[in-house]
A and B are shown apart, each in its own frame.
Chain A
């Protein structure tokens, strides 16, 4: 017995390290790296200092980076008189920046003209010293008369700098925080409403007998693949008419919920019906004999049994609504109190296309909820997809 076990053990070991296995592992590793790098780069970038982000690739974020920057010294207001000189003192950097100046210059043509310890002399005979931490002393025999100080060009080594500053900025100043709330207000009802009405619908399609049931089922199956583009123009027209008739806004949250409900109805019903069909018929019959109404059966038997199916469908529909752009774009006004995350991101891509700290952070904020669902409820998510998510 022991012998056999060792033999299979060696066999497994051999299997683990055989040539073809190593090749497979390397190939898979290659795929994994390609697939993870884009998201990883985004995540790292969202945590970087925005000045560094703009001038160096995120893959350099763990090493010291050489940066060229322009700073302006303080103006006349901060001057003091000392040892026969007028002096302006200060520090170029923000506190705790950790940057170390390598060289500096006073004109844009020669940004590396002076080393630390050199004295740079401006045309007006004023002099400036600088130490590597960015402390400067600018002095002149005559009084400084300008409100703005002169510019200094520095070349410094910047240590890795990570910060949550971008998140604070994006959430509260750029309106992503509000867009997050709006998206939640769109996605939650847009998931729960179809779940409620489709569970009754699927129940009647499976367990109730009525004229036209098979036709209705065929319509559902046909609707599965109807692209939602088919519905956009007519529904928008209906909303405009209804809005004009009752004097309310044509674009509103309830409008989006119902649109999402409509577009998710076929797939939700289809998936639920497939699940309900697999439940044993005898159980329903027994309950009926005991005098239970359809509603009793639905509440006391179907719902408890369907929790896993509900979970899968909930996740699919919720992610769909959370990630949707087109429906939110067409059926909601693009104002701060209604704009959803994806539309906001698209807007930022246009208006702040160069501000990568805002874009990367904004994108990551929009991904938090899907990623949380993904990692916490992956099992249900996969089950739902495998059960056949076909959505127009």
Chain B
């Protein structure tokens, strides 16, 4: 496909949706203007016109797949024959699956916690320093770039050369300058997970930072002033006033990052492809989708395990929504 063709279909694709809304509404406007009865019919058709595209997309791409994935998890690799709990039994006994679950749990424990913590500390520091907004911009910047881009950036930091060569990776250069042997960081089982998590923390701290920065403004200045006059140290203020005051925000950010981490795929796919015991559920699922022509049963089981991770958050969101509706 040439670039010109591509440009054409991009243009056409967008135009199609604008045209749908414009033409259908234009016709309705003319039709409904005539009589009151027509006006009422027009109003009910209008609702359908407004909702239909989004609802169809929602149905095809979210609702139907959820049920279809659940169904497929009980079927064989081609989705034809019912096999009961076979795929689930396979998963429980599969060492790769157990490894992925374990890695996912460590990711979920470490990344949201540290990102939230760093975000809070940095937001608090930057709030009191005159060049704080520049600092915030810099720390926030990784949020804008892709996980794969971040992967390349950090792979360069972790780059390993044999001990006889000059190290061009920053981490090994530092280690060597202190007189230690260079290490192939990404291939050391267990520890390599933490080197991959560092990348995610590097990215997500920015998210925590901007949300905390906005929330910090809501703390009454008088309260902080009063504490300072009473001689409380900044550390004491941080732990006794700021953290309790921002409890809700901390929870929200922690949840947000948890959802992102739960389906983490790109970083591991780009850096190690799940080798050296770094695999997580999303990577294993991708593997099973395409390994040996694909196995939709096993892939679906893995997707469902990821889904189970978000169900508590989903329930909590719905509960909060209902509370809001009541008010």
15 A-B interface contacts by CB (under 8 A)? A21-B129, A24-B129, A24-B234, A31-B122, A223-B63, A229-B282, A233-B300, A294-B50, A295-B25, A326-B266, A329-B286, A330-B289, A342-B148, A382-B210, A385-B211
State whether A325 touches B270 (Cβ < 8 A): yes
Q: How far is the CB of B103 from chain A (nearest CB, A)?
A: 16
State whether B144 touches A390 (Cβ < 8 A): no
Query: Which of chain A's residues have a CB closer than 8 A to the CB of B135?
Result: 28-29, 31-32
State whether A362 touches B47 (Cβ < 8 A): no
State whether A28 touches B122 (Cβ < 8 A): yes
Query: Which of chain A's residues have a CB closer than 8 A to the CB of B149?
Result: 323, 342, 345, 363, 366-367
Give 4 new A-B contacts, CB below 8 A, not counting A325-B266, A386-B210: A222-B314, A323-B145, A338-B1, A363-B149
Query: Does B101 sit at the interface, judged by CB under 8 A?
Result: no
Interface string of B141-180 (1 = CB under 8 A from A): 1111111110111111101000000111110010000000
Kindly report which residue of chain B lies nearest to residue A184, judged by CB atoms.
B10
| Contact of B152 (CB < 8 Å), options: A254, A262, A359 | A359
Determine the distance from Cα of A158 to Cα of B60 in the docked complex, in whole angstroms.
Answer: 60
State whether A54 touches B168 (Cβ < 8 A): yes
Query: Does B108 sit at the interface, judged by CB under 8 A?
Result: no
- B residues with a Cβ closer than 8 A to A are 1, 3, 6-7, 9-10, 13-14, 17-18, 21, 25-26, 28-29, 32, 42-44, 46-47, 50-51, 53-55, 57-58, 60-66, 68-69, 72, 79, 118, 121-122, 125-126, 128-130, 132, 135, 137-149, 151-157, 159, 166-170, 173, 202, 205, 207, 210-211, 214, 233-234, 252, 256, 259-260, 262-263, 265-266, 269-270, 282, 285-286, 289, 296, 299-300, 302-304, 306-307, 309-310, 313-314, 317-318, 321, 325
Interface residue tally for chain A (C-beta within 8 Å): 117
- A residues with a Cβ closer than 8 A to B are 16, 20-21, 24-25, 27-29, 31-32, 35-39, 41-42, 45, 53-59, 178, 181-182, 185, 188-189, 192-193, 196-198, 200-201, 203-204, 208, 210, 214, 216-238, 253-254, 257-259, 261-263, 265-266, 269, 293-296, 319, 322-326, 329-330, 337-338, 341-342, 345-346, 349, 356, 359-360, 362-363, 366-367, 370-371, 373-374, 378, 381-382, 385-386, 388-392
Which 8 A-B pairs rank lowest in CB-CB distance, beginning with the nearest?
A262-B61, A323-B146, A201-B54, A363-B152, A231-B65, A295-B25, A374-B144, A234-B68
State whether A295 touches B29 (Cβ < 8 A): yes
Kindly report which residue of chain A lies nearest to residue B260, judged by CB atoms.
A391
Q: How far is the CB of B115 from chain A (nearest CB, A)?
A: 12
State whether A265 touches B61 (Cβ < 8 A): yes
Given A326-B266, A359-B156, do A227 and B306 touch, yes or no (CB 8 Å)?
A: yes
State whether B289 touches A371 (Cβ < 8 A): no
State whether B10 touches A185 (Cβ < 8 A): yes
Query: Which of chain B's residues have a CB closer than 8 A to the CB of A27?
Result: 125
State whether A39 touches B141 (Cβ < 8 A): yes
Given A35-B202, A363-B152, do A210 and B47 touch, yes or no (CB 8 Å)?
A: yes
Kindly report which residue of chain B lies nearest to residue A181, judged by CB atoms.
B3
Q: Which of B65, B211, B270 has the most CB of A within 10 A?
A: B65
| Contact of B307 (CB < 8 Å), options: A37, A193, A226 | A226
| Contact of B65 (CB < 8 Å), options: A56, A57, A235, A382 | A235
State whether B318 touches A346 (Cβ < 8 A): no
Kindly report which residue of chain B lies nearest to residue A25, judged by CB atoms.
B129
| Contact of A218 (CB < 8 Å), options: B118, B146, B318 | B318
State whether A229 touches B61 (Cβ < 8 A): no
Query: Which of chain B's residues have a CB closer than 8 A to the CB of A45?
Result: 156
Kindly report which residue of chain A lies nearest to residue B79, judged by CB atoms.
A237
State whether A189 touches B307 (Cβ < 8 A): no
State whether B210 touches A230 (Cβ < 8 A): no
State whether A227 touches B58 (Cβ < 8 A): no
Query: Which of chain B's residues have a CB closer than 8 A to the CB of A345?
Result: 148-149, 152, 270
State whether A234 touches B152 (Cβ < 8 A): no
State whether A41 touches B157 (Cβ < 8 A): yes
Query: Which of chain A's residues have a CB closer than 8 A to the CB of B126?
Result: 28
Query: Which of chain A's residues have a CB closer than 8 A to the CB of B63?
Result: 219, 223
Determine the distance from Cα of A106 to Cα of B252 in the docked complex, in whole angstroms.
Answer: 67
Query: Which of chain A's residues have a CB closer than 8 A to the CB of B214?
Result: 382, 386
Q: How far is the CB of A145 from chain B (nearest CB, A)?
A: 37
Q: How far is the CB of A373 from chain B (nearest CB, A)?
A: 7
State whether A218 touches B321 (Cβ < 8 A): yes
State whether A229 touches B29 (Cβ < 8 A): no
Kindly report which residue of chain B lies nearest to residue A373, judged by CB atoms.
B144
Kindly report which residue of chain A lies nearest to residue B72, judged by CB atoms.
A233
Determine the distance from Cα of A227 to Cα of B29 in the docked complex, in whole angstroms.
Answer: 40
State whether B10 touches A325 (Cβ < 8 A): no
Determine the distance from Cα of A360 to Cα of B54 in the docked complex, in whole angstroms.
Answer: 40
State whether B69 touches A192 (Cβ < 8 A): no
Query: Which of chain B's residues have a CB closer than 8 A to the CB of A225?
Result: 259, 310, 313-314, 317
